[in-house]
Amino acid sequence: MSDVILETRGLTKHYGGVHALEGADFTLSRGEHVAIMGDNGAGKSTFVRQITGVEQRTRGEIIFDGKPVHFGGPLEAREAGIETVFQTLALADDLDVPDNLFLGRERTKWDWLGPFRVLDYKAMREATLAGLEKTAVKIPNIRNTIRNMSGGQRQCVAIARTATFHSKLTIMDEPTAALGVQETAQVENIIRNLKEAGEPLILISHNMRQVMDLVDRIVVFRRGRIVANLKKEETDGQDVVAYITGAKTQAEYEGAA
Amino acid sequence: MADTAHGIGGLKYDPKKRAKPPELNVFFALVLIVVTFEVLGWLIYGQSFLFNTRDNVDAIFNWARINIIILQVSIIGIIALGVTQVIISGGIDLSSGSIVGATAMIVMSFAQTAMVNGNPNPKAIFGEWAMDLPVLVPILVGLVCGLIAGMINGLLIAYTKIPPFIATLGMMVSARGLSKWWSNGNPISFPTESFAAIGKGMMPVAIFVALAILFHLVLKFTVYGKHTYAIGSNEDAARMSGIKVARHKVLVYSIAGTLAAVAAIVLSSKNLTAQAGMGVMYELDAIAMTVIGGVSLAGGRGSIIGTVLGALIFGVIISGFTFLRLDAYYQEMVKGAIIVGAVVLDQWRQGRAQLRS
């Protein structure tokens, strides 16, 4: 088993004439937490959408867990072990916590009934409780519908999927963008728990303090290209901002920008 | 696992404060309406609405009236079971009444008997070969008709992405045309005895109740049900979670079409005849029952229990108006107001829920 969980080689995505992502070479080791930063439209979310199979890439290779992969859709990526917390929360408001955690991959009995196979509510509730304990998520009542929850609780539910399904890689797209101070702290705690558990993470964030607090390495995107790959110990906030705005570009990416 | 007073992560909550099922409100509305008619009955005519007041009958309730209430809503109620699922999935079905009409015509053509009182059937559509067929034939033909009509609705909505309103409006007009063309506008009558038995007496009620129980279980306890709610609640989330949304929608509309066909079979059997104008406006009555029963037109919320209660409210109101000897015209006017009122109430509830969160 190699040390690298995810690698992309020359990953490229064009929307018609728009080169949203151009030749991205990226590696992520097991247990490593990496932040992706960059301005709006720099290609961060596009990069994630190619990896998670939400969109199909124009060119390039994705090697996940030692094997080249072609995900036809987000469910395939999820089944392979990539769990994503999307910017727009992919939660159904009228369902409760276990329902949302298991949406699209319910535990069932009597599978011969096809689409009418019976839900195993008990197993799903128990797995939900275990997953929430593991991430130390605080939700008063898992039978509550998402509609009746605060923004932070919703985000926690979205993140708790990761823990419930023992994913190999977690991707979070601005998980705290819409949250208050306390709720942000709760989400950050979950991220620390993932780190302790040795689960790798890609974190897209605009929050410099959060990034400096949480991750090992920062990859900067600008205009669809990777322009810097910075170890946290060797950089600081100002340095990162210089890369984001285009004041600096690392030598090995010079030709790209 | 039993609910505990302690939530995850040490947060506490009061299990007693858990949200009441929304069907409870619908039930209270039903009780309130019944009480209103009861009071009005005593005030205006000195008669009871639901209780037995005749000395020569030994019963607490006026069963004759209760039976009529249930019987008259059960056929449209069967349609409403399908409409409920469509609306929960975030759609709408305007075609069910026309599907009832078209299916009834086709079904009756295969349910005719050869001899009526010793004479050849005067309303015969096909030749000898279609006479006195086993009852299973018209039933199967009918179910397949409804299934196909519903499937066309579903395929249009899922794969051309046109709004359900438009797709089912098209089916509403076309299916009505088909039912008129089928026999050049003539009624088709004189079914076999075994076919006539389907809608006899309280059979429509039994069929309605059985189907209501079946689909209550299906919506509550199966993957199909869960995905129906999920799609109505947040279609993008459902898609991102890997639910095959298009395929699921085809299934939902197919089931709704098939249930409309069941209603057509029961109705034509009960009436012993099929006419091109059968089921006109049934789609709106079915939608009304559904909405009165607390199913949200925005999708994602509601239940079969709610719809059954909504159907009962519907029946009580019609029956109550007749009891108070008000014109049928008033009934329709008030029916319209009730439908609008139910939607306003739903919007208002939703608004309040948004404020709380």
Q: What is the nearest CA distance from A171 to chain B, expressed in angstroms? A: 14
User: CA separation (Å) from B204 to B15, B200, B211, B266, B289?
Assistant: 40, 7, 11, 6, 17
pLDDT tens string A12-23: 999 888 888 888
How far is residue A200's CA from residue A195's CA, in Å, rounded to a whole number?
A: 7
pLDDT digits (tens, 9 = 90+) for A36-76: 998 888 888 889 889 988 888 998 999 998 889 998 887 78
Q: How far is CA B329 from CA A5, B284, B318, B321, B325, in A?
A: 72, 16, 11, 10, 11
- Are residues A90 and B218, on separate chains, in Cβ contact within 8 Å? no
Give domain limits for chain B: 70-346
Between chains, do A91 and B234 touch, taking CB under 8 Å as contact?
yes
Q: At a CB cut-off of 8 Å and minimum separation 6, what does B174 contact?
A: B98
pLDDT in tens, B297-348: 889 999 999 999 999 998 998 888 888 888 888 878 888 888 788 788 777 8
User: What SS3 state is found at A220?
Assistant: strand
If you average pLDDT over residues A96-110, what whole number do you get? 88
What is the pLDDT, as a whole number, of residue A17?
85
pLDDT of residue A224: 87
- Domain with A129 in it: 4-253
Asked if A99 and B7 come within 8 Å (Cβ–Cβ), the reply is no
Largest CA distance in chain B: 82
pLDDT value, residue B279: 92
In this prediction, residue B27 carries a pLDDT of 92
Q: Is the pLDDT of residue A228 over 90?
A: no
Token representation of residue A79: 């089944």
pLDDT over 70, % of chain B:
92
Comparing CA positions, the residue from B84, B82, B87, B114 lying closest to residue B99 is: B82
Residue B75 has phi, psi (to 5 degrees) of -70, -50
Q: Which amino acid is at B243?
A: I
Q: What is the pLDDT of residue B250?
A: 97
> pLDDT tens-digit profile of A132-151?
877 777 777 888 888 888 77
* Pairwise CB contact (< 8 Å): A150 & B223: no
CA of B335 to nearest chain A CA: how many angstroms apart? 29
The predicted structure's pLDDT at residue B46: 82
Per-residue pLDDT at B19? 61
Residues of chain B with pLDDT below 70 are 1-20, 352-357
Decide if pLDDT at A217 tops 50.
yes
Mean pLDDT, residues A98-110: 87
Q: Are B67 and B73 in contact (CB under 8 A)?
A: no
Alpha helices in A112-235 (DSSP H): 121-135, 151-164, 181-196, 208-214
The pLDDT of residue B239 is: 85
Output the pLDDT for position B354: 60
Token reading at A78: 């999820």
Question: Residue A173 pLDDT > 90, yes or no?
Answer: no
Q: What is the pTM of this model?
A: 0.85
Q: Do B237 and A118 touch (CB under 8 A)?
A: no
Q: d(Cα B181, Cα B168) in Å, to the nearest integer?
A: 20
Phi-psi region of B281 (alpha: psi -120 to 50; beta: other; left: phi over 0): left
* CA–CA dist B260, B282 (Å, integer): 10
Which residues from A are below 8 Å from B301, CB to CB? 94
C-alpha separations of B281 from B101, B288, B339 in Å: 11, 11, 14
**A183-214 pLDDT, tens digit each:** 788 888 888 888 888 889 999 988 888 888 89
Distances in Å between the alpha carbon of B66 and those of B46, B48, B286?
Answer: 19, 12, 20
Residue B9: its pLDDT value, please? 47
Residues across chain B: 357
Q: Are strands A201-204 and A169-173 parallel, antiparallel or unpaired?
A: parallel
Q: What is the ipTM of this complex?
A: 0.78
The overall average pLDDT reported for chain B is 88
Give the domain CATH number at A227: 3.40.50.300
Give the distance from residue A217's alpha carbon to the nearest chain B alpha carbon, in angstroms.
29
Tokens (6 digits) for A161: 């999927």
- Three-state SS annotation for chain B: CCCCCECHHHCECCHHHCCCCCHHHHHHHHHHHHHHHHHHHHHHHCCCCCECCCCCCCCCECHHHHHHHHHHHHHHHHHHHHHHHHHHCCCCCCCHHHHHHHHHHHHHHCCECCEECCEECCCCCCCHHHCCCCCHHHHHHHHHHHHHHHHHHHHHHHHHCCCHHHHHHHHHHHHHHHHHHHCCCCCEECECHHHHHHHCCCHHHHHHHHHHHHHHHHHHHEHHHHHHHHHHHCHHHHHHCCCCHHHHHHHHHHHHHHHHHHHHHHHHHHHCEECCCCCCCHHHHHHHHHHHCCCCCCCCCCCHHHHHHHHHHHHHHHHHHHHCCCCHHHHHHHHHHHHHHHHHHHHHHHHHHHHHC
pLDDT value of residue B167: 95
Max CA separation in chain A (angstroms):
61
pLDDT value at position B246? 94
- Please give the Cα distance from A56 to B265 (Å, whole number): 48
Report how many domains make up chain A. Answer: 1
Looking at the complex, does the CB of residue B357 fall below 8 Å from at least one CB of chain A? Answer: yes
User: What would the mean pLDDT of A149-174 be, rounded to a whole number?
Assistant: 80
Closest Cβ–Cβ partner in A119, A125, A137 for B222 = A119
